[in-house]
Structure 1
Amino acid sequence: MGTVAAYIDGFNLYYSMKNKYGRKYLWLDLVKLTGHLRPEDQVVQVRYFTTIVRGEPEAAANQIHYVDALRAHSGDVLDIQIGWFKRRTLSPCKLCGKHWQCECPRRPRSFEEKETDVALAVSMVEDAAVGIADLTLLVSADSDFAPAVAAVKRIRPTHPVILALPSGSLQPHKRFVDVGFFTINETALRQSQLPEQVYDPVGRKLRRRPEKWG
């Protein structure tokens, strides 16, 4: 048995689950999921990187509620780092060249996520440098993390890095070199749910799965 540290790209995981399964598995126990993905290893650290959505009050409230439930349930094994959104200027449509409110099949974003990707990459490299675990598990299909994986390999050439690709991604991007990989299946998500209600001692309340996440 070895040890594993996991680094979870919250938005990449969220959108992949939502696109494939709707809201069915969003009440996800991240520490339990890591254990399912690496059943032979001891989970020593799970770092979760996300940002609270902007412009959608109900979705933001559910997300904060979920983060509080995770913290209450998982203890010190789970480290949650929350970034922020920066307002961005919308450019003309790349498909038709017209104003961004055209009818082309795309989804313009008025806010962009800041800090979470950088924070994940830095944490992954730092942890590998000090050797907190025998293996690094990266839960993301985002090729922007390829340079961080390469840095881990330079620092510790024999250190294994494995990509747990969120649902819908079958192969890692070619920018990832010398990594193992697999796709997170529905069974792992189904068997890694938080209890229907979690007691939060900080807020002194029960955190229940949101109705829309049933």
Structure 2
Amino acid sequence: MGTVAAYIDGFNLYYSMKNKYGRKYLWLDLVKLASYLRPEDEVVQVRYFTTIVRGEPAAAANQIHYVDALRSHCGTILDVQIGWFKRRTLSPCKLCGEHWQCECPRRPRSFEEKETDVALAVAMVEDVAAGLADLTLLVSADSDFAPAVAAIKRVRPAQPVILAMPSGSIQPHKRFVDIGYFTISETALRRSQLPEQIYDPVGKKSRRRPEKWF
């Protein structure tokens, strides 16, 4: 039995679950998931990196509600780090010709997630350097994390790094070198759900799974 620290790419996990299973597994207990994926190890830390959506008030409210429920239920073993979105436009404005930001009405816009990937990569390397856990578990299929995995191998060559790929991914990108991997099963998601009702002692309220998340 060893110790494991898990690092969760929130958006990668969210969209993979939603694309394959709809919303029925979004009420996910991340600490329970890490323990299910590594049943022989002791989970000492789970770091969850996400960003609150922009432009969709109902979805943002559900996301904040979920993060608050996670914090209440999981306690200090769960570290939640929230990034931010930078506004960008999809194409040059047909009214004024500007390529990026303008104030023309009905301008199509989108948002680009910032900081979360960098924060996750830095946390993984820092924790390995500090000797936090015997094994690093990365929940993502994003090849942008390959340089961080390479850095871990330079800092501590014997450190095992396992890639737990969200549903829909079969094997890791070729940029990943010297890494174990597997795909998270539907059974793992189904058995790692939060309780239907969670009491928040700080806010003195109960939190339930959002109605759309069934």
The TM-score normalised by the length of structure 2 is 0.92
Question: What pairs with 1:32-181 in structure 2 (closer than 5 Å)?
Answer: 32-91=32-91, 110-181=110-181
Other-structure match for 2:96:
none
Deviations 1:133-183 (A, max 9, x none): 000000000000000000000000010000000000000000000000000
Aligned residues between the structures: 200
Could you give the per-residue CA deviations for residues 55-94 of structure 1, whole angstroms, max 9, x where no partner exists? 00000000000000000000010000000000013236xx
Residue in 1 that maps onto 2:29: 29
| C-alpha distance in 1 between matches for 2:38 and 2:117 | 23
CA separation in 1, counterparts of 2:170 and 2:202? Answer: 40
- Please report how far the alpha carbon of residue 49 of structure 1 lies from its aligned counterpart in structure 2 after TM superposition: 0.1
Aligned Cα root-mean-square deviation (Å): 1.2
Q: Are 2:212 and 1:209 equivalent residues in the alignment?
A: no
2:16 counterpart residue number: 16
| 1:105 alignment counterpart | none
C-alpha deviation, 1:203, in angstroms: 1.2
The answer to whether the Cα contact below 8 Å between 2:6 and 2:136 also exists between their aligned partners in 1 is: yes
In structure 1, what is the Cα distance between the partners aligned to 2:54 and 2:203?
23
Matches of 1:202 and 1:21, distance apart in 2: 33
TM-superposed deviation, 1:111 = 0.5
Structure 1 segments, 4+ long, off by >4 Å, are none
List gaps (5 residues or longer) in structure 1.
Answer: 93-98, 100-107
TM-score (norm 1): 0.92
**Take 1:16 and 1:176, find their aligned partners in 2: how far apart are those partners?**
20
Question: Which whole-Å CA distance do the structure 1 matches of 2:198 and 2:188 have between them?
Answer: 20
Matched with 2:102 is none
Give 1:48 deviation, angstroms.
0.1
Local SS of the residue matching 2:113: strand
Taking the aligned partners of 1:156 and 1:206, their CA distance within structure 2 comes to 43
In structure 2, how many angstroms separate the alpha carbons of the residues matched to 1:60 and 1:201? 22
1:109 positional shift = 6.5
What SS is found at the alignment partner of 1:212? coil
Percent identical: 86
**What's the secondary structure of 2:212's corresponding residue?**
helix
Unaligned runs of 5+ in 2: 93-98, 100-107
Change over 3 Å in CA distance of 1:55–1:4 after alignment to 2: same
**Partner letter of residue 154 of structure 1?**
R
